[in-house]
Structure 1
Amino acid sequence: MSVPSPGCGQGPLIPFCLLSTYLMALIPVGTQKYLLNKRRRPCGSHSYSLIIFTNDLEDKAWTTNEVMEEVTSCSFSSPLFQQEDKRGVTYRIPALIYVPPAHTFLAFAEKRSSSKDEDALHLVLRRGLRTGQSVQWEPLKSLMKATLPGHRTMNPCPVWERKSGYVYLFFICVQGHVTERQQIMSGRNAARLCFICSQDAGYSWSDVRDLTEEVIGPEVTHWATFAVGPGHGIQLQSGRLIIPAYAYYIPFWFFCFRLPYRARPHSLMIYSDDLGATWHHGRLIKPMVTVECEVAEVIGKAGHPVLYCSARTPNRHRAEALSIDHGECFQKPVLSHQLCEPPHGCQGSVVSFCPLEIPGGCQNLAGEDAPAIQQSPLLCSSVRPEPEAGTLSESWLLYSHPTNKKRRVDLGIYLNQSPLEAACWSRPWILHCGPCGYSDLAALENEGLFGCLFECGTKQECEQIAFRLFTDREILSHVQGDCSTPGMNSEPSKK
């Protein structure tokens, strides 16, 4: 197991040495060797791994049993999943949730035999126990319960149900090596909607449950393919569980023949109102083409809940849409010109949280007084529950995504102080400089802490999936501009 070195803010090395001495006493004298392995970390601190060598008396060979746990300190990143070979085993598609009663992060990813989508194998998990502003990570665990025979498992999408304490892990199982493009071109869906659940914060998992017929039913003939997430789902104040998804919808048939070339992707929500016993799907978000999405519940000044959706598009800008009926249907999406997309777009993550109390009323993110918000509301005025425009929301949004318009580099964190108004995003705080890709955020309610699980590397974004823990104060100290000035997010703030 790893512990930080003195000076890293995580305690001295002495307790670890005592623990190693105790462990060595359990192994017979003469059949043991050990090595205290010191590793330099990117932040300048170190972690320590106890490596125990045991001698098999029959074959006289030394074997290594290494128990390793990464420690993530606040403000520093830790690689949780690392590519084993440039053309071999790769980890992609992060998903992250926090389970408050267990003080535990659950970090999910796909294990693949290469970086290609069609080479996905199964899902993997690392559990992280939080103590204050540090997280200690358990070793990687393969989730073989999350599989169907003859299928590959993709797109982890977990959600925590606060009343029962269950964690529901949704995903899709795709037949063999059938690609998404092959499904779209043929109009024949090869994906299954599945989930497993855990009662003990990810220690153990149930058998897989296939929901395809229950949730989609005969309508699947109009879906060339579909997927959930990837990234986290949420539970609304009402208790409804929401799993974001998208489907390539085939609108037209010619007699008995599909016209797959007309298939267009649209985001939608899968939801449950009975604590996960039964599931249903909402309407497609139209007319704009939208793909991978995430949602967050926003509570306005009047206490009215609104569901905010952030969706990937190929239109060089992020799509935003709002729902006032808990995700059953959404208003017409609009493009956010403050949130750019690289060519072909990229998945992004969004979470809502209760804002800090900032003395002196509405202020910009540099600490100076800001005028009232004057932008046009994002939510249609005919159904707008807010009494007036120009006031900050009781919920703020945090959003993670590559910040470059031309390629997937420089992962940024954006802040929105008034999600129901248009053009209220801050300049991004660059969390990672260099290649990056998919990401997922988790907000720790009433803790002032956030976690981000993201793809990154030095040459390619698929080199590793890293985790970063940061505070609300860090966000305010790094982001630039204010919510009352559209277009202020052109120059990002470096970490």
Structure 2
Amino acid sequence: MEPSRCSTTTLFRQEGVGGITYRIPALLYIPPARVLLAFAEKRSSVDDTDALYLVLRRGEKVDHSVQWGPPEPLMSATLPGFRTMNPCPVWERKSRRVFLFFICVRNHVTEQRQICSGKNAARLCFVSSSDHGRSWSPIKDLTDEVIGEEVEHWATFAVGPGHGVQLQSDRLVIPAYAYHFSRWHCLGTFFRSRPRSHSLMFYSDDLGATWKHGQLFQSGVTTECEVAEVMNSNGLSVLYCSARTSGRCRAEAFSTDLGEHFEKPSFVQELHEPPHGCQGSVVSFRPRRGLLQEEAPAISSHPKSLVSTLGPEQSLTPPSSWLVYSHPTSRRHRINLGIYVNQAPLEAARWSQPWIFHRGPSGYSDLAILEEGWFGCLFECGEKHEYEQIAFSLFTDQELLSHTGEKCSGPSNVQ
């Protein structure tokens, strides 16, 4: 397949200066139908507190392009007196059902107000679709069922934003974060610790019928996150998490129990964060046979915690999955959206140099794996501000390697 020219289509555009604004992209590809679902928040202004409801555009991949339908409001994904935020979709392949997770937050209650007061105003909700996003079920509120009394120790929480994943085991995983605090009683007075942010996962092992949540990450510095499953050639599943921080670089963590627990996050110095951080996206894919050389490099520099978990023989096995990551590349501003590739996901510091996918203001993004070497990226961008529009682009694996300066390498029996 010859590399194609990267084309960009604006799917959502701000209406006037400071008017209706679309933010927080989430992208899902449905393989059997070759359908893309592009979600965003519709807001009455740029502010988080002015979020209204979610909107959707359905696209059909035809040859080397996508034909997009008109914007559609998702009014079934609403609760009276709440605003709908943080779309996080996942495709369940056995039931052929789309689950769209999101949070509903009490109108005009800011995240900072929840953190300062310790009083959560968010609800964990989802809707589902069995016809590739043409129609949606009534909303279901899972807060009491899934979080229960623990929510009293969560100042606030959110899912994603971006996509969830279905693992080889069929487990559905929705990435999330919570601001957790401890409360204790002493001499007639109640005290509360300062809430700290921890990433975590919501998951289902029965095709979405019931849901649970995993353990909070050990380090209280990670917030918005996405996950991708990496399979080495021994068939061992490792769940990779990329998480937002305010520490000028990205955090990553690994799980060997399908997302219930993660090793302590480590910081990736070559993946920059702007001040206060920014959401980013990560996906895993199995490289095509034509993209690979016959010889594969051995893995020899796993993080110590992962080596001890996998064992010495498994730790030297080359992975059969690569990672692709999108995020603004500057340490100072949300500008210059970059696409990175990692051909050895279980090694430390193996990210490529970024392909500058969009020059200028850029913010949140979401990646999707299509088929036959194609990728999609839905991202915030603009000329003066990153929230002026949400755009979509297609690109190929060959373009990715060409622009990141990576050579093709990997196990020759991977298809």
Normalising by structure 2, report the TM-score: 0.93
Over 3 Å counting, the alpha-carbon distance change for 1:481 and 1:134 in structure 2 is closer
Distance 2:312 2:127 in 1: 39
Distance 2:190 2:247 in 1: 27
Q: Which amino acid aligns with 2:263?
A: Q
Whether the aligned pair in 1 keeps the contact of 2:307 and 2:315 (CA below 8 Å) is: no
Distance 1:386 1:415 in 2: 25
Matched, 1:476 2:407: no
Matched, 1:300 2:232: yes
Aligned to 2:95: 164
1:40-439 correspondence to structure 2 within 5 Å: 75-254=6-185, 259=191, 262-357=194-289, 358-362=292-296, 374-377=300-303, 379-384=305-310, 387=313, 389=315, 391-439=317-365
Distance 1:127 1:271 in 2: 26
Whether the aligned pair in 2 keeps the contact of 1:92 and 1:462 (CA below 8 Å) is: yes
Offset at residue 348 of structure 1 (A): 0.3
- Alignment RMSD: 1.8
Distance 2:304 2:81 in 1: 45
Over 3 Å counting, the alpha-carbon distance change for 1:386 and 1:455 in structure 2 is farther
Query: Structure 1, residues 200-220: CA drift from partner, whole Å, max 9, x if none?
Result: 000000000000000000000
Whether the aligned pair in 2 keeps the contact of 1:450 and 1:471 (CA below 8 Å) is: yes
Aligned sequence identity (%): 63
Distance 1:126 1:261 in 2: 43
Gap runs ≥5 in structure 2: 410-415
Query: Which of 370, 374, 395 does residue 449 from structure 1 map onto?
Result: 374
Residue correspondences, number = 403
Over 3 Å counting, the alpha-carbon distance change for 1:212 and 1:101 in structure 2 is same
Whether the aligned pair in 1 keeps the contact of 2:302 and 2:346 (CA below 8 Å) is: no
Distance 2:38 2:248 in 1: 29
Aligned to 2:413: none
Over 3 Å counting, the alpha-carbon distance change for 1:390 and 1:433 in structure 2 is farther
Distance 2:121 2:220 in 1: 24
Task: Find the structure with the greater CA-based Rg.
Answer: 1
1:452-471 correspondence to structure 2 within 5 Å: 452-471=377-396
Query: Structure 1, residues 348-399: CA drift from partner, whole Å, max 9, x if none?
Result: 000000013312424xxxxxxxx75543436522211572555531000000
Distance 2:365 2:190 in 1: 35
Offset at residue 253 of structure 1 (A): 2.9
Distance 2:72 2:190 in 1: 41
Distance 2:315 2:350 in 1: 13
Offset at residue 286 of structure 1 (A): 1.0
Distance 2:274 2:312 in 1: 34
Distance 1:148 1:420 in 2: 41
Query: Structure 1, residues 33-72: CA drift from partner, whole Å, max 9, x if none?
Result: xxxxxxxxxxxxxxxxxxxxxxxxxxxxxxxxxxxxxxxx
Distance 2:76 2:386 in 1: 28
Query: Structure 1, residues 246-296: CA drift from partner, whole Å, max 9, x if none?
Result: 000012334587655610010000000111100000000112410000000
